[in-house]
Structure 1
Amino acid sequence: MQSLFQQPAHDLPFEKIAAIDLGSNSFHMVIAQVTHGQLRVTGEYGEKVQLAAGLNKNVLDDESQERGLACLTRFAQVIENMPLGSVRIVGTNALRVAKNRYDFIGKAMDIIPHPVEVIAGREEARLIYVGVSNTMDHGEKKRLVVDIGGGSTEFIIGSQQKPILTESLHMGCVGFRQRFFKDGTITKSNFQKAVTAARLEMLSIQDDYLEEDWDLAIGSSGTIKAAYHIIKENNWGKKGISLKGIKSIQKALFQAGHSDNINLDGLKPERKSTFAPGLAILTAVFECFQIESMDLSVGALREGVLFDIMGRYADRDIRETTVQYLLNQYHIDKEQAKLVAHTGLSALAQVKEDWQIDKISSESFLRWSSLLHEVGMGISHSRYHKHGAYIISESDLPGFSQQEQQALANLILRHRRKFTQSLNYRFTRQDQTELDRLAILLRFAINLHHDRKEGDMPIFSMKAKDNTLHIEFLPGWLEARPLTFANLQLEADYLLAKNFTLTFS
């Protein structure tokens, strides 16, 4: 029997994959050809959308949404007809904080018919490290990776492929421009205020990171990439970025006096308005972490997403590692979880065509929710489904987007008692229907193993249509289990409240 605690590896079914990064400052897309497990980038696209500039009281205004959607319309032409699963779209800080993010996401998915995933800050940091570690080989050296974005800055310490510390702080070049350089004016005074604000933000992680120590510092993306090229083009440093080189850039900015007047070799015109605030954050990073020199990585978030897509079809899906960690961390009864998962997957195999449950990830979500449905048991037995849903929805779960965590929490919350319970998450109508059906299969599997008898694998057949499900057991099996019979009768009543008909014999 195949182990349920590690997803079996299988070949990547795509010859071409794409990653789209909906950043707070810029939208980027990278296309790659996959040959014999190796990536070859065939196209890179990017536009300065400045989504975060349209945030007013954490609501995206119409203009910023229109800029983003217009950009995605152009991206859509390149990835037209690419199958589901081959394109992964991730949203970062601006979409994390936007109260109306689902309005934008709905419009975006009308343009590009692939899921838009909003990722947590630490997940963004992990993916950045995946991009860096797969494009730069430093052997066993420990490295500090820094990525200054439009709305947040990520810090990672790791060695080889493994991140050790990950953190995301709510400071970025677009946000700092709004706070300290709103009219474009650049002075020593407002620049230093921005540096001080960034240093104060980093106080919460400074001690832990300095204590961990590292052998070299690596920067990626936007501001750091611009600073690297400016120093190189103007001969202000021999190798990489140094504090001396940063000071030379500062001097040029103060002389310019305004973002419109910046004229530096190596700086793209579209980056002028956000470069001074980004450099203030970079200055604070160097001072706070006592960095002498920083190299530039060609890989960052979007490259990390590409490698993550590949990992999900091999034996490197970080979500599997996360589920295994939760199983151990919360002392879940693994044998019981395994029984439930086997029965749930057997049920899904019988009705997936009837119910058109055809999402690539449906089997994984049913398996994960089966394995983790008792994650809240150590807190409270009577309300453990609610505690479990809270743990899943609010924890940092490497590999999972916020929507994936919400879907998993939705299944765990509704695995027992009233089927109508809700965490008030927003899903598309199609996704909600599929979650409802997966939840019914999860509840069925749990009911069949309520007596917690190891090795008791029931034999049954299922037929499903719309809002009906009929189950047939071997003759005499159900009669010999009065507890199971009573649970299924109660389950039929619970489901009826959702206008769903369950019959069994």
Structure 2
Amino acid sequence: MASGLTARLAEARDFVRAALRPVPEVLAAVDLGSNSFHMVVARHSHGQLTIIDRLREMVRLAAGVAENGRIDKEVAARALACLERFGQRLRDMRADSVRVVGTNALRHAHRKQAFLERAREALGHPIEIIGGMEEARLVYSGVAHTMPSEPGKRLVVDIGGGSTELIIGEGLTPLDMESLQMGCVALSERFFRDGKISAKRMERARLAARLELEPVQAAFRRRGWDACAGSSGTVRAIGDSIRALDPQALSITPAGINRAIEYSIDAGHTRELKLEPITEDRRPVFPGGLAILAEVFSVLDIKDMRIAEGAMREGLLYDMLGRYQREDARELTVRAMQQRYHVDLE
């Protein structure tokens, strides 16, 4: 294990020794998530990044990856049509530097090379499929760069379509990271596929989430944190729904989650989830995401969670910026891992 870790650290160290290059004026990041595809474009000026364009389309790629790993033709067509639109926008924006990453659904898809080649042609840029830990690192970077700086450690929770990332960090540096094999699409497909929502189904979904969380419970609670933030669309939709049910709610709390669960069970079906924050394309995956967040709160004993503005795509932008400025966020992670595991690369 130590030799493998040393090799990964050495590879990351070699990367960050790249020569300094001028920062492009326009940078773009594309996140091919298991639930939604996102694109964010930023302008670099005077050392700062300013977001100038955002696009999001719910593709639900995870729902189109069969048990044998094949990507469903209809879902693939939907994904490629989305990437065509993203590619045209990137050309219109004249983005100088673009990074495109695929996450959990593409990690687990088999025989995907033909799809990736067509996706690259549609978008105009190559696609990098990243591992769960890299996804967690980028999520934390996006949150840490876009939330006010504060002392102490921060727990970040990101519920995606196919995986859930948990990160504890301090400042801009992640200290503990986990990527769990559960997401709002996968759990909703498993327990709420026909749209029906009941107390029994919700409890079964929560139990599945609890079993995924239990192996990391002790380590995370032992590390501890001073503040908690949730990122991405699932957490935001739940937080906004809680606020719609109780306008006095300023953050996500256990009581608010319970209220959202009661509302969902009373609705009885995903098509009856009529709160404004639960958009039509969000409804089929809302109960699965809600079950995951409820168990994250329960297992880790979270009392309060704020909603972060940034997520993985913002993390990609700051990662790109750091590479040009030789302040690669991965270097900070490498140093933290060196200290934690007592690895000497010299």
> Structure 2 length as normaliser, TM-score?
0.90
Mean alpha-carbon deviation: is it higher for 152-161 or for 316-325? 316-325
Could you tell me how far apart the structure 1 residues matched to 2:165 and 2:53 are? 25
Q: Give the secondary-structure state (helix, strand or coil) at the position aligned to 2:316.
A: helix
User: Structure 1 CA distance, aligned partners of 2:331 and 2:173?
Assistant: 15
1:81, distance to aligned residue in structure 2 (A): 7.0
Cα deviation, 1:443-465, whole Å, max 9, x if unaligned, reads xxxxxxxxxxxxxxxxxxxxxxx
Note the C-alpha offset of 1:236: 5.5
Q: Deviations over 1:187-244 (max 9, x none)?
A: 0001010011101100110000000000111000121100111122332553210111
Residue 343 of structure 1 corresponds to: none
Deviation at 1:321, TM superposition (A): 6.2
The residue that corresponds to 1:190 in the other structure is: 201
Q: Where do residues 396-407 of structure 1 align in structure 2 (5 Å cutoff)?
A: none
Alignment of 1:301-380 (within 5 A): 301-319=312-330
Residue 248 of structure 1 pairs with residue 259 of structure 2:
yes
- Select the residue among 35, 41, 53 that pairs with 1:25: 35
Partner of 2:235: 224
Inter-partner Cα distance in structure 2 for 1:41 and 1:201: 35
Q: Structure 1: which 5+ residue stretches go unaligned?
A: 335-505
Matched residue, 1:178: 189
Question: Structure 1 segments of 4 or more deviating over 4 A?
Answer: 3-6, 81-85, 318-326, 328-332
Partner of 1:135: 146
Give yes or no for the alignment of 1:10 onto 2:20.
yes
CA distance in 2, matches of 1:142, 1:25: 29
Distance 1:295 1:194 in 2: 24
Identity across aligned pairs (percent)? 44
The alignment status of 1:114 with 2:131, answered yes or no, reads: no
Distance 1:164 1:323, change over 3 A: closer
Alpha-carbon shift at residue 247 of structure 1 (Å): 1.1
CA distance in 2 between counterparts of 1:5 and 1:130 reads: 18
Residue type of the alignment partner of 2:105? A
Contact 2:22 2:324 in 1 (8 A): yes
- Contact residue 9 and residue 314 of structure 1 kept, 8 A: no
Q: 1:95 aligns with which of 80, 102, 106?
A: 106
Number of residue-to-residue matches in the alignment: 330
Q: Deviations over 1:44-81 (max 9, x none)?
A: 10001000111112221111111110000111111117
Structure 1 counterpart of 2:282: 271
Given that residues 236 and 248 in structure 1 are in contact (C-alpha distance below 8 angstroms), is that contact kept between their aligned partners in structure 2?
no
* Structure 2 CA distance for partners of 1:214 and 1:323, relative to 1, 3 Å: closer
SS at match of 2:315: helix
Picking from 47, 53, 60, the partner of 1:50 is: 60
**Distance 1:254-1:5 versus aligned 2 partners, 3 A rule:** closer
**Residue 124 in 1 paired to residue 145 in 2?**
no
Counterpart amino acid of residue 234 in structure 1: L
C-alpha distance in 1, partners of 2:211/2:247?
A: 28
* Structure number, greater radius of gyration: 1
The answer for the alignment partner of 1:144 in structure 2 is 155
Aligned residue in 2 for 1:62: 73
CA contact (8 A) 1:176 1:194 kept: yes
> Match for residue 293 of structure 1?
304
Alpha-carbon separation, structure 2, partners of 1:284 and 1:217? 15
Find 1:35's aligned residue among 27, 37, 45.
45
Let me know the Cα RMSD of the aligned residues.
Answer: 2.3
What SS class does the counterpart of residue 39 from structure 2 fall into? strand
Q: What amino acid is aligned across from residue 97 of structure 1 in structure 2?
A: H
- The residue type equivalent to 2:292 in the other structure is I
Secondary structure in 1 aligned to 2:120?
helix
Pick closer, same or farther for the CA change 1:11–1:259 going to 2, 3 Å.
same
Change (3 A) 1:265 1:124: same
Between stretches 95-104 and 182-191, larger displacement belongs to 95-104
Deviation at 1:137, TM superposition (A): 2.0
Deviations 1:135-155 (A, max 9, x none): 012322211000000000000
> Would you say the 8 A contact 2:35–2:161 is kept in 1?
yes
Structure 1 residues 236 and 186 mapped into 2: Cα distance closer, same or farther (>3 Å)? farther
- CA distance, structure 1, for counterparts of residue 260 and residue 246 of structure 2: 11
Q: Give the Cα separation in 1 of the matches to 2:152 and 2:110.
A: 41
Cα shift at 1:128? 0.4
Q: In structure 2, do the counterparts of structure 1 residues 152 and 160 end up closer, same or farther at CA, with 3 Å as the change threshold?
A: same
Q: Deviation digits for residues 390-446 of structure 1, max 9, x if unmatched?
A: xxxxxxxxxxxxxxxxxxxxxxxxxxxxxxxxxxxxxxxxxxxxxxxxxxxxxxxxx
Are the equivalent residues in 2 in contact too, given 1:24–1:149 (CA < 8 A)? yes
Higher relative contact order (CA 8 A, sep 6+): 2
Is 2:24–2:97's contact at 8 Å kept on the other side of the alignment? yes
8 A contact 2:23–2:325 mirrored in 1: no
Distance 1:237 1:198 in 2: 29
